[in-house]
Structure 1
């Protein structure tokens, strides 16, 4: 009788642990991440022109050349 009771207790704990740990196995999980990405913009003026590297989308830029001088204009929208 003692062995039967021990087997039942072990079977109960095994079934309980499989229900707890296997409940979400194979089901999709959605993870929402909230983060702040700082704005970063780099302007590089070479002989070939103006190169802009940025993670900001709300500005326009242009470069005007007059002789040896270059003027870069940046306008935020």
Structure 2
């Protein structure tokens, strides 16, 4: 009978110790790091004899030259 009481007491102590270990991490904050790829997009539009550039990419250069009555758009990707 004494062995049974000691075994039950040890099991209760072990259960209490294990539950306190798991409970210690319950209030911890965690950092979630998200990594995403945003594709580059460049749009050239023209209106009123002007070129408008809308882009989230910085790996290109462009220039507009006017020859006679024509405008030329030159785009160079770096």
The one-character-per-residue Cα deviations of 1:8-61 (angstroms, maximum 9, x if unpaired) are 243123113224xx17813x647362x443332110111162111122212221
Q: State which structure, 1 or 2, has the greater radius of gyration over its C-alpha atoms.
A: 2
Distance 2:22 2:14 in 1: 12
Using structure 2 for the length normalisation, give the TM-score: 0.57
Output the aligned Cα RMSD.
3.2
Partner SS for 2:57: coil
Gaps of at least 5 residues in structure 1 are: none
Structure 2 gap ranges (5+): none
- Correspondence for 1:25: 28
Q: Cα distance 1:40–1:58, how it changes in 2: closer, same or farther (>3 A)?
A: same
Q: Which residue of structure 1 lines up, in the alignment, with residue 48 of structure 2?
A: 47
Paired positions, count: 71
Q: Partners in 2 of 1:9 and 1:58 — Cα distance?
A: 62
